[in-house]
Structure 1
């Protein structure tokens, strides 16, 4: 359980949110409503009184207090203080002004309203990505990936594109990265070889593919480390994960955007390469040389 001793950093708030995510399936319906509010609006937890937070979450103040006690806090105000300390450490974003400019342009150009909304949503999603908290998690995840026996990447349905991109680009430098395809009934066979020395990078957002959820439950039992790239700490992929990246995927498009996930993949693999030493450079050089030798690149 969380203790009240010296919570001083943003990672302490992250730790509490992660613990809440793991406990979420065991909570009562009223505590789940309170947890929904905390997981989705941690900044508002810091800014609002317990009464206002309870009102916004559609629960009673005593429910908010019970949730705090469930997480090991004797008083709600100490729970709230943890989030107040966290938001003071956040770096200001330079994307918000650009997003406001796009909104202003959209109001003066109704013909391109959809494209303007899409541009604004994309900038907002990337604004959320380029926060100190996410960049710190990338620094934590990179050595886990580099030092693992094997790294498996999993994403089904639309998220297969993310898993494939991670595996294709990652394998150029790191041969121990492997894509889980899960097609033609092979998913269980591919999962069976994973053990506690391995890492799985999983991609998924609401609505979560049931096969992905079931696969992660199997991986948890195998003891492998999980790096989850998802949309919420309430995600079934987030529980017991070593690292959870929560990405915004809001868009005027009818389907969730993959742009933030692709940005994360490229940033994460870049940091991994920076840690890999000369062997990684040789792997990349050999890959490119083989493609050129076999005529893989177009030459005018």
Structure 2
């Protein structure tokens, strides 16, 4: 039965124009290409595996299913949709990828000496959140796409006005970046949606401007819609997001991937702020004359 399903998956791949992914990079390329039209649950799996390759490498079917919010059978179905005979074949790609390369596999940050003996629950919370932030920052340092970063900076540096879009968890990031840009004399507008005016605000963009959009999975904010509205007006869009499956990717002339670790059900924004501020400083360094 598994062989028959793999054969069907193979024919499906050939029809859509891609081969069986042999590496993690191949798999990301397939997912980013848009060749696969996945139903909601399989897309949920794809987003999880793109963001958490270390979990995919070392977890069991049950633990991965629980963390990704799907049934174990959905993981098997996802693997077979790609053409693998089963989940273990898909998992092998991730085991190969993380060996000696993924920060979490070797960083598992050593807590301070007093961490092991401290019984203060508040210290546990502080340490957990601090470690999540440090893991996020370590990942950025090892995986940042410098070509994508440079392309984002170029688009923003050439803009007359920079529009910043980010809601929910991304809003504190765009607010801080807007402040930093203003302090550097760079004209920008924060799309804050006060009074439900976000679409009216984005309606002021022109092809001479640029939009920096920031959004994280599950992408259930209005940010992708606002970015699409700007793109329809011919305004260049660049983005910071956390997966090749983000709806911002297809809308963006360039994008930067930032994946945040979590603790206690809450994801850090430390790495996103670090990358965002690096973008701001690079734009200032490339400096356009102030247009204020």
Distance in 2 (CA, whole Å) between partners of 1:196 and 1:2 is 34
Q: Does 1:137 align with 2:148?
A: yes
TM-score when scaled to structure 1? 0.65
Structure 1 gaps of 5+ residues are 70-78, 288-300
Retained in 2: the 8 A contact 1:13–1:86? no
SS of equivalent to 1:248: coil
Shift of 1:135: 4.4
Shift of 1:187: 1.5
Match of 2:214 in 1: 203
Distance in 2 (CA, whole Å) between partners of 1:190 and 1:135 is 31
Match of 2:32 in 1: 18
* Aligned pair partner of 2:73 in 58, 83, 87: 58
Aligned counterparts, 1:64-83, within 5 A: 64=79, 66-67=81-82
Distance in 2 (CA, whole Å) between partners of 1:87 and 1:197 is 42
* Aligned pair partner of 1:246 in 258, 264, 268: 258
Distance in 2 (CA, whole Å) between partners of 1:275 and 1:222 is 26
Retained in 1: the 8 A contact 2:165–2:213? yes
SS of equivalent to 1:145: helix
Retained in 2: the 8 A contact 1:122–1:251? no
Per-residue CA distance 1:262-288 (angstroms, 9 max, x = gap): 211211122223322xx65xx5xx99x
Q: Does 1:101 align with 2:111?
A: yes
Match of 1:291 in 2: none
Distance in 1 (CA, whole Å) between partners of 2:178 and 2:159 is 15
CA gap of 1:87–1:3, structure 2 versus 1, over 3 A, is farther
Distance in 1 (CA, whole Å) between partners of 2:142 and 2:250 is 22
* Aligned pair partner of 2:137 in 123, 126, 144: 126
Over aligned residues, Cα RMSD in angstroms?
4.6
Structure 2 gaps of 5+ residues are 1-15, 66-70, 85-89
CA gap of 1:107–1:227, structure 2 versus 1, over 3 A, is farther
Match of 1:229 in 2: 240
TM-score when scaled to structure 2? 0.66
CA gap of 1:123–1:46, structure 2 versus 1, over 3 A, is closer
Shift of 1:152: 0.9
Distance in 2 (CA, whole Å) between partners of 1:58 and 1:8 is 23
Shift of 1:248: 0.4
Distance in 2 (CA, whole Å) between partners of 1:201 and 1:194 is 12
Distance in 2 (CA, whole Å) between partners of 1:226 and 1:101 is 41
For this pair of structures, how many residues does the alignment match? 267
